[in-house]
Structure 1
Amino acid sequence: MPKPAILCVDDETVILNSLKIQLKKEFGNAYLYEVAESADEALEIIEELKQDQTDILVIVSDWLMPGIKGDEFLIKVHEKYPNIIKVMLTGQADESAIQRVKEQANLYACLHKPWDNQVLVNTIKNGLEKP
């Protein structure tokens, strides 16, 4: 059985690298760490992981990305995979987008950039522990 995955989605490579390093440092080899630079790429990765029977436990997504914005992406994911824990990490989301994703995608948390490393880690840990 493959390890469960955490997927990070952001159009800025430096943020993806930072997230991946931070998560690996905290959780070690407990999870697969996948990254995508767009919602479209993330949707492809989700399908590939599901074909490999890999559970995706958490998605951390930016809001402002080219193409599909983070709120639309998380709502799409929720429609197909409602049990994935969804965290939005943003510097620019408007309140209506945040509210929409809370209502339509069961958003677990919204953190603002620049984020506090410990707050992000605790948010993910708490999300993973919820029943």
Structure 2
Amino acid sequence: SSGPRLQRLDLAEEAIRLARILHRLLPAERESAGLLALLLLVHARRAARTGPEGEPVLLEDQDRGLWDRAMIEEGRALVVRALTGGPAGPYGVQSAIAALHDEAADVESTDWPQIVALYDVLLT
């Protein structure tokens, strides 16, 4: 897929809106924080995800200057909530992986060992 069908901004924003409502209604539920964090951290990269012709751009080739830093910071704060207070659920772990990608200045400085460890948690 490419072009406008590759990314549906309206659906992504609606998912974030609904996740915000869920988190507001269930503030003590760590997985609601993890879900919202994951959605924000992935959506923060949207401007760099496609090229001029609508073609997909690999994470390693994305212009990280196009990433939404405010959305990343909000997501990172939610990751802390999702991971605090006991074993993390799947959304918490996935949001931590997304945060590690978003925190890295470039692909080379990505904390790959930590990402592998988090994927191992998901698989167990």
TM-score normalised by L of structure 2: 0.31
Structure with higher RCO (Cα < 8 A, 6+ apart): 2
TM-score normalised by L of structure 1: 0.30
- Structure number with higher strand proportion: 1
- Structure number with higher helix proportion: 2
